[in-house]
Chain A
Amino acid sequence: MGELVTDKHVKYILSVEKRKDDFESVVMEHLRMNGAYWGLTALDLMGKLDVVDVNEVVSWVMSCQHDSGGFGGNVGHDPHILYTLSAVQVLALFDKMDLIDADKVTNYIVGLQNEDGSFSGDMWGEVDTRFSYIAICCLSIIHRLDKINVEKAVKYIISCKNMDGGFGCTPGGESHAGQIFCCVGALALTGSLDLVNKDLLGWWLCERQVKSGGLNGRPEKLPDVCYSWWVLSSLIMIDRVHWISREKLIKFILDCQDKEKGGISDRPDDAVDVFHTYFGVAGLSLLEYPGLKPIDPAYALPVDVVNRIFFKK
């Protein structure tokens, strides 16, 4: 198992940023904003955010903003709520919140709330509890949560709760750890966790740990490092994280490292990518792995960044 090879992961993340012509970079092009958030947050958790040029990143992020207030996944791309949250999170990482025109971003997000309280991802209407979380998290970071109908938003999320205690993407949708993170996160940020049956949901979540120590996202599925984030953060938010085996999960994540070239994969011996590298590091941070900054389970930002946002400290 060994240890977290921090220096190698830092190198790997920086190398991805510079890579030019492989397939991953083509696919990543339109969601570069998410990639930036994953890579930069992982760097910050490892205490290495200072290796990037702040002004370069920040000016690129700002150039992705549209008049509507939303951010695109890259320069010249249409805005989407997915990229808007990542952009706001990246600016928060660099303590550049003052660059955000909060009213503009707020208008954009407010416009995406539907009559039933749900949120669409963009002006074209795809509805999903993921977008409820993103809207609520984003508005909370810019101190504008009061500008949406929180009561209805919460009601919609609760309508996606299943009999097993979990949540799906729409009412009746199968419980899925990724959706559960979004729903529990949104409920945590709106102070509505009393609406969750914590023992029932906690049991479902801790059943996700399989023999190898890894977590899966649904019954009978394979474990995957990204669920270390989704399942763990949910368990922490509902105060039940001690129900799973910390040691075994740490071992599973460490086994997914590429110890030579850096980066973390979904499962041992698979190819690494930035997405799983971020989720692996963030998962270890939630598990209080030594040498990593603590991450906030609801905001998905380092705790010191969250404190800076809310307590100016």
Chain B
Amino acid sequence: MASGSSEVEEEEQERVMLRDRPEWADVTPVPQDDGPCPVVPINYTEEFAEVMDYFRAVYLADERSPRALSLTAEAIHFNAGNYTVWHFRRLLLESLKVDLHKELEFIERIAAKNSKNYQIWHHRRRVAEKLGPDARNAELQFTKKVLSVDAKHYHAWSHRQWALQALGGWEDELDYCSELLEQDIFNNSAWNQRYFVITRSPFLGGLKAMRESEVLYTIQAIEAYPENESSWKYLRGLYKGETTSWVNDPQVSSICLKILSSKSNYLFALSTLLDLICHGYQPNQDFRDAIEALKIPDLDIQDLDIASMICSILEKIDPIRVNYWIWRKSRLPHVAQ
């Protein structure tokens, strides 16, 4: 059973209008009814308009035929965003007992040009759902391919999370995250996926079991690029619901101190230290020395307590969010200098 894709590929070269194809001679196309008083009289490109006219005809007649399937492929080729066309295509796939692996291939070709389209991903999910665990590798491979082009592709990540949960395949996912983070340590989607894996994979034992090794991994990532919002947020996430362990873990305060002492890209180190202090952490003189050594021009912080010093510096080095830092300063707990 053909999936209707071959027509689409040839179509680029020598497309014949449907009205000139013998196999469509018996169908009367149904033109778009623009309603009583069209506000927006739209003239679609002629070919697309014709395809849609024939589509409406087969859709209204509920014609479950191979040619109807090919027609949906042509309609999708023109516009992959039409819910009805996709829906009718699913009905046809079922009635015609089409090999769904072929359909996955068809989707892959369509997605190559329209990967940001919601309908394609929804269709893909419905088809994979029908195939069950049989589709596992195909789905992981497919999303991997999309992510190799755009590693932050929201639909692809969403589909991949669904596939892992519905079809399985968790075993290599943490390695996959590491691989992507190695390519781009700033990839927030990959960090999110990493968190998804360590908290949800049935093989890893959950957040607590993973914390030790993940903290080490993350601290290395922070050391390499301390200006990375994602790694700092991930580090905080590793102590979700356990603020006390976060405040008391010397690894967290040490990395802050280390970055501060390096005197460059220390914004997140400062803000993390501020959060720690607000949750009861008591920094020693080393922190104060490191902060004073930053020597921000035109900023006199000698007489302030350490939390106020931090806020004053952040106001200076992050001026676009100055109001946020002023607000943070205004609600500091009263700590001894």
CB-CB nearest in chain A for B78: A26
Partner pick for B233 among A78, A164, A213, CB 8 A cutoff: A164
Instruction: Count how many pairs of residues, one from A and one from B, have CB atoms less than 8 Å apart in the complex.
Output: 149
Cβ of A21: which chain B residues have Cβ within 8 Å of it?
43-45
Asked if A172 is an interface residue, CB under 8 A from chain B, the answer is yes
Q: Flag the segment in B32-40, B173-181, B214-222, B294-302 that touches A.
A: B32-40
B79 touches A26 (CB 8 A): yes
Closest to B187 in A: A220
Whether A243 touches B83, Cβ cut-off 8 Å, given contacts A17-B40, A21-B44, A26-B45, is: no
Q: How far is the CA of A242 from the CA of B157 in the complex (A)?
A: 33
Residue in B closest to A64 when the chains form the complex, CB atoms: B35
B133: which A residues are within 8 A, CB to CB? none
From A145-153, A180-188, A204-212, A304-312, the one touching the partner chain is A204-212
Q: How large is the interface on B (under 10, 10 to 19, 20 to 34, 35 or more residues)?
A: 35 or more
In the bound assembly, the distance between CA atoms of A23 and B47 in angstroms comes to 12
Segment 193-245 of B: residues with Cβ below 8 Å from A: 193, 195-196, 199-200, 229-230, 233, 236-237, 240
B289-328 Cβ-contact flags toward A at 8 Å (1 or 0):
0000000000000000000000000000001111110010
Q: Hey, which chain A residues are within 8 Å of B162, CB to CB? A: 170
Least CB distance from B157 to A in Å reads 6
| Residues of B close to A31: CB separation below 8 A | 81
Chain A residues in 8 Å Cβ range of B192: 162, 168, 172-175
Q: How far is the CA of A211 from the CA of B152 in the complex (A)?
A: 21
**Would B321 and A174 count as touching, CB distance under 8 A?**
no
Q: Which residue of A lies closest to B40 (CB)?
A: A17
B-contact bits for A223-238, CB 8 A (1 contact / 0 none): 0000000000000000
Measured CA separation A43–B27 after assembly (Å): 43
Q: Please tell me if B145 contacts chain A, counting CB pairs below 8 Å.
A: no
A47-73 contact mask (Cβ, 8 Å, vs B): 1 or 0: 000001101110110011000000000
Q: How many residues of A contact B (CB 8 A)?
A: 62
In the complex, the answer to whether A60 meets B41 with C-beta atoms within 8 Å is: no
Does B84 reach chain A (CB closer than 8 Å)? yes
Contacts of B116 in A (CB 8 A): none
Complex CA–CA separation, A77 to B84 (angstroms)? 7
Does the CB pair B79–A219 fall under 8 Å?
Answer: no
- Bound together, the chains give a CA A32 to CA B79 distance in angstroms of 14
Say yes or no: B320 contacts A219, CB within 8 Å. no
A contact residues vs B (CB 8 Å cutoff): 17-21, 23, 25-32, 35-36, 52-53, 55-57, 59-60, 63-64, 74-78, 80, 122, 124-126, 162-164, 168-170, 172-176, 202-203, 206-207, 209, 211, 213, 218-221, 242-245, 248
Give 21 pairs: A residue, B residue, CB < 8 Å, sorted on A: A17-B39, A21-B45, A23-B45, A30-B81, A30-B83, A59-B35, A77-B83, A124-B90, A163-B195, A172-B199, A174-B193, A213-B320, A220-B152, A220-B186, A220-B187, A220-B229, A220-B230, A243-B321, A243-B323, A243-B324, A244-B323
Please report B residues at the A interface, Cβ cutoff 8 Å.
Answer: 32-45, 48, 56, 78-79, 81-84, 87, 90, 118, 122, 126, 152, 154, 157-158, 161-162, 186-189, 192-193, 195-196, 199-200, 229-230, 233, 236-237, 240, 319-324, 327
